[in-house]
Chain A
């Protein structure tokens, strides 16, 4: 069983490796989006509220650079989740017909999705570090990773539920409107409005903003919210994909 899963995982990576343009885009887009955000933003002062309630004076430039990381990671991971899972459904149905269990077929796709998210995250963090050093790396990295995994899972769900085109429309806008607008401390009063806390980007963004600007960790609540989102979405992805693959046996 492990051997079959490893084979499918290896084939999944090989399939992605045959698309050099994809790898170039996954590395180049974070570099362009983030470095360009730093370059074009004015260092005007901005008062923000951290998760612990403390108010901090920073600059729009630092805020824009910091918030572009989860926007980029969430956006790219969402599209990867959408298209990797959507294009895999057909071939994975054949794998299931050939004797794989749905779990053995799903796991390699999820491994590919997580690895692609980690590549995008590593590229984004490396670019960010040129212009901005967060006060505390661990929550900053954790928040961005959670944003990527949550949006990767949302993309995977969108691919399985609304198809390629509807999913693309959704994943083009959802991370932008959630992380880019609703959770963005560049807007409103320097903290998300109350209604924004129901969106999936709330937890990860508060965790990473805490890491970006505070040396103490005061975002335990948002971290729990983010982990709950990730757990629920992961279960939903697995259930939906098992059903999608198993239903045609």
Chain B
């Protein structure tokens, strides 16, 4: 058991190092969410009003931080899987096993997602001020985790970098624009993956807490997205019999 943990931890650290080897990638992981939060905070309220929504002020800025975390994390999850498909199969064949490869890869993505969420949250806190910081940070992190799941899921089925990136972007745009405070309030909009996380984030931006039922829904969505992604990734990474 402790051997399993150390193998996963070692591989996860290696996957993390592999991802951050290019310094520019790290710079972008830090700079992009910060820039997006600053640039979008002044316009998201107007944008929501144009779509018939009502989100504004700090809630709109908070939503921008969640979106930035989600979009980057989606790309991150996708490339973690798609760019290492063959290497992961070899690792699994060489004795590590598909399950441990999957846990190590997704753990590395979660650590990077945490970095993205911290940057987005700090930028939000410094630029707009947040009355409910703990809830806001948790919600931004949840945006990132849900999209790590979505990116990983897409990467498990689509190998082409361009096709996969476009698919992640497509899911993100539908999800974001039909979210609470934007155009959607009922029907299909209720089924969008970050629906409840956006409710929590908007409430935190407005200085309000969220009911426990919202947190339960957010927790279940996050766990479901990561579990679904892990299962799909395991199917993609497992050695095939010849």
Chain A residues near B (Cβ < 8 Å) = 19, 21-22, 25-26, 29, 32-33, 36, 40-42, 44, 60, 64, 75-76, 79-80, 83-84, 86-87, 162-166, 168-170, 172-173, 177, 181-182, 184, 186-188
10 A–B contact pairs at CB < 8 A?
Answer: A32-B170, A41-B183, A87-B161, A166-B28, A168-B161, A169-B75, A170-B28, A173-B68, A177-B40, A184-B43
CB < 8 Å neighbour of A83 from B47, B50, B165, B169: B165
B73 to chain A, nearest CB (A): 11
A83, B161: Cβ atoms closer than 8 Å: yes
B50, A186: Cβ atoms closer than 8 Å: yes
A187, B166: Cβ atoms closer than 8 Å: no
CB < 8 Å neighbour of A41 from B29, B43, B51, B167: B51
Q: What residues of B have a CB within 8 angstroms of the CB of A79 in the complex?
A: 162, 165-166
Q: What residues of A have a CB within 8 angstroms of the CB of B19 in the complex?
A: 165
Distance between Cα atoms of A41 and B72 in the complex (Å)? 26
Q: What residues of A have a CB within 8 angstroms of the CB of B51 in the complex?
A: 40-42
A172, B71: Cβ atoms closer than 8 Å: yes
Distance between Cα atoms of A163 and B27 in the complex (Å)? 13
B28, A164: Cβ atoms closer than 8 Å: no
B33 to chain A, nearest CB (A): 9
CB within 8 Å for A169 and B72 given contacts A25-B170, A181-B39 = yes
- The answer to whether the Cβ of B22 comes within 8 Å of any Cβ in the partner chain is yes
Distance between Cα atoms of A73 and B183 in the complex (Å)? 23
B171 to chain A, nearest CB (A): 11
A19, B177: Cβ atoms closer than 8 Å: no
Distance between Cα atoms of A124 and B166 in the complex (Å)? 16
Q: What residues of A have a CB within 8 angstroms of the CB of B183 in the complex?
A: 40-41
B162, A80: Cβ atoms closer than 8 Å: yes
A18 to chain B, nearest CB (A): 10
B25, A169: Cβ atoms closer than 8 Å: yes
Q: What residues of A have a CB within 8 angstroms of the CB of B166 in the complex?
A: 22, 25-26, 29, 76, 79
B177, A36: Cβ atoms closer than 8 Å: yes
Q: What residues of B have a CB within 8 angstroms of the CB of A76 in the complex?
A: 166
Distance between Cα atoms of A42 and B49 in the complex (Å)? 8
CB within 8 Å for A162 and B50 given contacts A83-B162, A170-B28 = no
B163, A166: Cβ atoms closer than 8 Å: no
Distance between Cα atoms of A86 and B71 in the complex (Å)? 21
Distance between Cα atoms of A31 and B63 in the complex (Å)? 26
Q: What residues of A have a CB within 8 angstroms of the CB of B42 in the complex?
A: 187
B50, A165: Cβ atoms closer than 8 Å: no
Distance between Cα atoms of A168 and B166 in the complex (Å)? 10
CB < 8 Å neighbour of A64 from B50, B71, B75, B162: B50
Most chain B beta-carbon contacts within 10 A, residue among A22, A76, A164, A188: A164
Q: Which of B41-91 contact A (CB under 8 A)?
A: 42-43, 46-47, 49-52, 68, 71-72, 75, 79, 83
Distance between Cα atoms of A202 and B83 in the complex (Å)? 34
Q: What residues of A have a CB within 8 angstroms of the CB of B170 in the complex?
A: 25, 29, 32
B40 to chain A, nearest CB (A): 6
Q: What residues of B have a CB within 8 angstroms of the CB of A187 in the complex?
A: 42-43, 46-47
Q: What residues of B have a CB within 8 angstroms of the CB of A177 in the complex?
A: 35-36, 39-40
Q: What residues of B have a CB within 8 angstroms of the CB of A83 in the complex?
A: 161-162, 165
A40, B52: Cβ atoms closer than 8 Å: yes
Distance between Cα atoms of A173 and B39 in the complex (Å)? 11
Distance between Cα atoms of A25 and B163 in the complex (Å)? 7
Distance between Cα atoms of A75 and B36 in the complex (Å)? 16
Q: What residues of B have a CB within 8 angstroms of the CB of A86 in the complex?
A: 161
A163, B22: Cβ atoms closer than 8 Å: yes
- The answer to whether the Cβ of B24 comes within 8 Å of any Cβ in the partner chain is yes
A76 to chain B, nearest CB (A): 7
B47, A172: Cβ atoms closer than 8 Å: no
Nearest neighbor of B33 in chain A, beta-carbon distance:
A173
The 3 closest A-B pairs by CB, nearest first: A40-B183, A83-B162, A60-B50
B56 to chain A, nearest CB (A): 13
CB < 8 Å neighbour of B25 from A33, A75, A162, A182: A162
Q: What residues of B have a CB within 8 angstroms of the CB of A170 in the complex?
A: 28, 32
Q: What residues of B have a CB within 8 angstroms of the CB of A33 in the complex?
A: 173
Nearest neighbor of B166 in chain A, beta-carbon distance:
A25
Q: What residues of B have a CB within 8 angstroms of the CB of A40 in the complex?
A: 51-52, 177-178, 182-183
B79, A165: Cβ atoms closer than 8 Å: yes
Distance between Cα atoms of A173 and B67 in the complex (Å)? 11
Known A22-B166, A26-B166; 12 more pairs at CB < 8 Å: A40-B51, A40-B182, A40-B183, A60-B50, A75-B169, A83-B165, A87-B161, A162-B24, A169-B32, A172-B75, A177-B35, A177-B39
